[in-house]
Structure 1
Amino acid sequence: MRAFLVVPALAAVLLSSCSEAQTNQPGNSALTAPTDQTVPNQKKGKKGKKDKASDIANLTKVGKMREVPESSGLALTGENGTFYTHGDDGNPPILYKINTQGEVLSRIEIPAKSHDWESISRDQVGNVYIGDVGNNNNNRKNLVLLRLNPLNPQIVQEIHLKYPDQSEFPPGKKDRNFDCEATLWHDGQVYLFTKDRGRSATSKVYTVPDQPGNYTAKLLTKLAIPGQVTDAALSPDGRRLVLLGREEMFVFEGENLAAMLKAQPRQISLKGAGQTEGAVFTTDQTLYISTEQGSLYEYQFE
């Protein structure tokens, strides 16, 4: 009797051992893994990229110009909360009226050619001056400022200009300092600030009268600017001048514009803001800045 009882018991032990061995074999993990087990090395969704400009002190992104191709300048319209802007080289001759969020309120077609519009400024009676003075290769002989009132855009007057110190078109590469992306109107004159493509060290300042005609620009001074100037803006009280650069700006302060052009500028980094191209003051402390990528910023001076 005992012999017959041992055999069934031994068989049960052998079957149990065999079953345990099978559940621990590679390829059978599904049998032992719990249903809520986390799969290792599973990729998580990408987090949203942080806006680099958010780290810049006193700078706030306020809008996006989705309908403006490569904004290259800013000017006041005379109506609170609105600006004029325009596209860069290769875009149609259109002025865009936008609000402080970058939304297009209207489009104004200008009956003039757009060789390389780079800047826009406004005088005290509502005329705007569009700087068709972009000169990347320093070889243009048809530089012109377009003078018009946006309320009557069919009448366009031209201010043709040449530089008194340019005799080669183009000059040698290191001497290519006849491109201009920055202009501003002040006291009956249009000021032009050059973009030094040769050495990125000097911005020359020229003036021409704000009346239509043909002029040899007057060279006022040369500013030591360690960069390339892309726009200029003067505060309403005339005591602060900003020269915008690529992701930076140079701030001059003084009793008047003549004094500021002799002052040492303060350099402020705008790293992360994008290709900063347009600037205009709305108050003595508030500066709006546009980028070629379409961002619109507000900078508050302390």
Structure 2
Amino acid sequence: MRLHPTGPTGTRAAALAAAVLLFAGAGPAVADDGRPDRDFTIEDPRITESSGLAASRAHPGVYWTHNDSDDGPYVFAVDSRTGKTLATITMRGVGEPRDVEGISIGPDGDLYVGDIGDNLDGTWSHVWIYRFPEPKELRDATVDAVQYDVKYADGARNAEALMVHPKTGRVYIASKNEDGGGLYEGPAKLTAGAVNTFRRVDEVPWVTDGAFSPDGKRLVLRSYFSAREYAFENGRLGEDRSVAAPFQRQAESVTYTADGSALMFGSEGARSEVVRVEVEGGGSGGGQEQGKPSGSAGGEAGDQGGGEEGDGKGSAGLGAAIVVGVGVLWFALRRKRGQG
């Protein structure tokens, strides 16, 4: 999103992000010998607020993304081999997007775009989801999109994570709140021209994006400083474990690679980085951290030295120091807020 979270929450998040990045010595991602689905930098100067990522089903190595608020009805196809934009899609028939925060691909091959942000935490009576088929050819085009009106059964709220289950096609939204949000389940089938009510089915932490694994058995949810992967069955969250998400300046997006072998973490900003994190195991080991960044971009959020030795990502001491530094900063800012 263009603005960091508003009010005291935004001040704390911005200060923590800046301090942790300085402390960790994060650097830019570096392309890995031209292979797809590796660390890359989004080169398009128009994409300054990449707030969502979705791995293409039809075009290997391509990732769909979009800007945040006030950008217009645009979606971009970015090549992970080069970081360059291969196509700009203009959605027609969807009105004026307000705060686009998430993107996902359904089992039918359609792209779902979530105009679901609400920085004022519940001032908009409804939000929207836009839907159109993923283009078979990657070229600039204008497409007709379907617009769905969305409301929450328990009242309006802010959200940044839109996930379409890759098997059932059901749409889920994770709301964003400093003290924890909710996982909301949409109706079995979205209906245009009517209100689609999403109902809270589970509790989640502070979430800036999420994505289902290609087989639909796992759901990853990320925040500014961490990520967790949950088992997902019968529409509900199960056992979860930490994922070694990278530190990024404004951690706003995540998706699985098309083959499910890794996670791709994105951030807002000009020439923003997308970092690959390998997925290990896949189903067992609750509470155990998994994965590691594959490239050279920064440190790992949530890494406390439990990774494999010799992975080139720094010592346990650095990971622990980062965690301690985050904790100290968070505590200090919380105390300042209480005294203010």
Deviations 1:225-277 (A, max 9, x none): 2xx211111111222210111131111125x3535x1x242233535223221
CA drift of 1:134 comes to 0.6
CA drift of 1:194 comes to 0.7
Q: Does 1:165 align with 2:154?
A: yes
Percent identical:
24
Residues 1:107 and 1:269: Cα distance change in structure 2 (over 3 Å): same
- The total of aligned residue pairs comes to 232
Q: Distance in 2 between matches of 1:218 and 1:163?
A: 5
Q: Distance in 2 between matches of 1:128 and 1:139?
A: 27
Aligned to 2:143: 154
Deviations 1:89-138 (A, max 9, x none): 12232111101142211211222322110001111222111101111112
Residues 1:64 and 1:82: Cα distance change in structure 2 (over 3 Å): same
Aligned to 2:60: 80
Aligned letter for 1:291?
S
TM-score (norm: length of structure 2): 0.62
TM-score (norm: length of structure 1): 0.70
Contact 2:170 2:185 in 1 (8 A): no
Residues 1:210 and 1:299: Cα distance change in structure 2 (over 3 Å): farther
CA drift of 1:142 comes to 3.6
CA drift of 1:280 comes to 1.4
Contact 2:262 2:276 in 1 (8 A): yes
Residues 1:107 and 1:229: Cα distance change in structure 2 (over 3 Å): same
Contact 1:247 1:274 in 2 (8 A): no
Aligned to 1:145: 129
Aligned to 1:274: 249
Aligned letter for 2:220?
V
Aligned to 1:20: none
Aligned letter for 1:204?
L
Q: Distance in 2 between matches of 1:215 and 1:130?
A: 17
2:266 to 290, 293, 301: 290
> What value does the CA root-mean-square deviation take over the aligned residues?
2.4
Deviations 1:19-67 (A, max 9, x none): xxxxxxxxxxxxxxxxxxxxxxxxxxxxxx943689xxxxx97111132
Q: Of the two structures, which has the highest relative contact order with CA contacts closer than 8 Å and spacing of 6 or more? A: 2
Contact 2:246 2:275 in 1 (8 A): no
Asked which structure has the greater CA Rg, the reply is: 1
Contact 1:95 1:109 in 2 (8 A): yes
Aligned letter for 1:202?
G
Residues 1:268 and 1:212: Cα distance change in structure 2 (over 3 Å): same
Q: Distance in 2 between matches of 1:268 and 1:81?
A: 22
1:91 to 61, 71, 75: 71
Aligned to 1:64: 41
Q: What SS does the corresponding residue of 1:217 show, helix, strand or coil? A: strand
Aligned to 2:203: 223
1:240 to 215, 218, 235: 218
Gaps of 5+ in 2: 1-23, 30-36, 136-140, 281-340
Deviations 1:168-212 (A, max 9, x none): x7xxxxxxxx1111111121321111111xx42232323133342
Q: What SS does the corresponding residue of 1:154 show, helix, strand or coil? A: strand
Contact 2:69 2:100 in 1 (8 A): yes
- Consecutive aligned runs of 4 or more in structure 1 exceeding 6 Å deviation: none
Gaps of 5+ in 1: 1-48, 55-59, 170-177
Q: Distance in 2 between matches of 1:191 and 1:93?
A: 21
CA drift of 1:139 comes to 0.6
Q: Distance in 1 between matches of 2:200 and 2:71?
A: 32
